[in-house]
Structure 1
Amino acid sequence: MAKRLKSGENRILRYVILAGWALCCLLPILWFLSIGFRPRTEIITPQPIYWPTFSLDAWHMIWDDWPMAHYLMNSLLAIVGSVVIDLVLAIPAAYSLARYTYKGREDIGFYILSTRMMAPAIVAIPIFFLFKGLGLLDTVWGLMLVYAAINLSLVTWIIRSYMQDIPHELEDAARTDGASDLRILWEIVIPICLPGIITAAVIAAIFAINEFLFTLLIASTQNAYTMSVALANFTGGSDGKIYNAIALVSFLAFVPVFLLVVSIQKHLSRGLTLGALKG
């Protein structure tokens, strides 16, 4: 009986600690959301307001005065497209680096990773003129390509580290049965590495969402604006900083990432714990 009581008390204590931690994590988000549904005059007033007024001014502003739905669609298309491009290119490249033996393999792997170490501002001007010559400025396709190029090296390296943990005996048995390398990759390697692939895809998506320099460089007009560039439009101009619109747009940009992480939480946690970056 004493052990059961102690076990129940420990469980209650764990729940209390987890609930407190969850509250600490949620309060800033809820507070940020509350700013988005308050009048601008109450946000910038120097006197504290303990009972704020509910207002939809910022909501009407971002949907009626600004094409926020268009910006959100541009962000989703650019991010999803870049992740797909990264996976299509990174999975075969990672398999080659993890399984085949050839001269310069390690050098190629290090070179792929070293491109991630380069400061983005160094290649900003060359990429601008390259995309201008290709007619990709102010297009969602241009954003897809630049996001994919930025994250390709990291995605390749992460997936490669998972493929190196797969026992060679599985592939040798499949080859004995007459399976080709492409079939082995598709039916054996990719299913086993699925948590790592999902982890790499989520990391690439988060980095693409946070990218601002190349987005601002390529999306020169509202035709290709994303959520990150739209946020910059609320931080200046004749009206000054529109804090409630900034808070509301930031929350709308946060929600898709949150839902994505929650929906694939199981695979993501497995990917983060089972994989390891290797040299």
Structure 2
Amino acid sequence: MASVRRDRSERLWLRYLILGSWAIVCLAPMLWFLTIGFRPRTEIIVPHPIYWPSWSLDAWRLLVSDWPIASYLRNSVVAVAGSVVIDLVLAIPAAYALSRYEFRGREDIGFYILSTRMMAPAIVAVPIFFLFKNIGLLDTVWALMLVYAAINLSLVTWIIRSYMLDIPKELEDAARTDGAGDLTILREIIIPACLPGIITAAVIAAIFAINEFLFTLLIASTSKAYTMSVALANFTGGSDGIIYNAIALVSFLAFVPILIVVILIQKHLSRGLTMGAVKG
């Protein structure tokens, strides 16, 4: 009995050792970026490594005094969160219709929705620019929100549809027997049953929206609507050269919100990534 307990304890410590080592590997780049953000620029650009660097708040002072970094972060959060909400509001009913209703051309419509994600975004960049210019939304966070939502809507719809296909139809038949309508079934049965899939689709849409640069640079022509991705690009040149410590600090600040979201919903996210498979 003691030997079994000892073997179990050794396996547990080995598991912790492996997971701890992997956590260090994953966290090392983030911590490295953070340390670069608090180092003087003169020490970063030297040709030889500095093993015992000195610490400086120059990059932070630059962000606070010369760059409205809080405004850029707010624009990013509002644009990304708003686009995810729009995607979910439109994608959940669409996915329910494509997964439950029987009508002619259902599979063709589902594939057409997904095929719009295969198109190169640069093809529609100029028309979208003139569209927002004509309706007066150019250089606004609202325009970024709508563009992000339009780009990711097809993918979100397809992901949620794949999870809804895994839900047994017998649950809906039982609810209809009790007199429930389609909206009640969607709200009370379908959405709770595929909640991990919905959360997974929302996180994927948020990551794609955060990484979007082309439309952000095209629509946000002034700092009023800049997001973190465009603000980060502004540190890559100029009369002072590349400001490496500011780039590292802004990159870390841009990464923190999505990291916090993933940590908070990791239970649902892991379930959503492992349940079911994408169906055609």
1:120 corresponding residue in structure 2: 121
1:252 corresponding residue in structure 2: 253
TM-score, L = length of structure 1: 0.99
Q: Which runs of 5+ in 2 are unaligned?
A: none
Counterpart check, 1:107 vs 2:108:
yes
1:267 corresponding residue in structure 2: 268
What SS does structure 1 have at the residue aligned with 2:84? helix
Q: CA deviation at 1:31?
A: 1.0
CA distance in 1, matches of 2:207, 2:258: 7
CA gap of 1:275–1:136, structure 2 versus 1, over 3 A, is: farther
2:133 corresponding residue in structure 1: 132
Q: CA deviation at 1:9?
A: 1.1
Tell me if structure 2 keeps the 8 A contact 1:209–1:228. Answer: yes
Counterpart check, 1:168 vs 2:169:
yes
How many residues get paired?
279
CA distance in 1, matches of 2:44, 2:28: 18
Q: CA deviation at 1:47?
A: 2.7
CA distance in 1, matches of 2:201, 2:177: 31
2:3 corresponding residue in structure 1: 2
1:241 corresponding residue in structure 2: 242
Tell me if structure 2 keeps the 8 A contact 1:139–1:218. Answer: yes
CA distance in 1, matches of 2:39, 2:202: 36
Question: What CA RMSD, in Å, does the superposition of the two structures yield over aligned residues?
Answer: 0.8
Tell me if structure 2 keeps the 8 A contact 1:196–1:275. Answer: no
CA distance in 2, matches of 1:19, 1:116: 38
Counterpart check, 1:209 vs 2:210:
yes
CA distance in 2, matches of 1:166, 1:17: 36
Counterpart check, 1:48 vs 2:67:
no
Query: How do 1:85-100 and structure 2 match up within 5 A?
Result: 85-100=86-101
CA distance in 1, matches of 2:201, 2:137: 26
Equivalent residue letter for 2:105: G
Moved over 2 A (4+): none
Q: CA deviation at 1:275?
A: 3.1
Q: CA deviation at 1:48?
A: 2.1
2:159 corresponding residue in structure 1: 158
Equivalent residue letter for 1:11: L
Equivalent residue letter for 2:33: F
CA distance in 1, matches of 2:225, 2:253: 18
Equivalent residue letter for 1:136: L
CA distance in 1, matches of 2:102, 2:203: 29
CA distance in 1, matches of 2:171, 2:45: 64
1:60 corresponding residue in structure 2: 61
Tell me if structure 2 keeps the 8 A contact 1:174–1:184. Answer: yes
Q: CA deviation at 1:236?
A: 0.7
Determine what percentage of the aligned residue pairs are the same residue: 78
What SS does structure 2 have at the residue aligned with 1:137? coil
CA distance in 2, matches of 1:48, 1:2: 49
Equivalent residue letter for 1:226: T
CA distance in 1, matches of 2:35, 2:210: 23
Tell me if structure 2 keeps the 8 A contact 1:138–1:220. Answer: yes
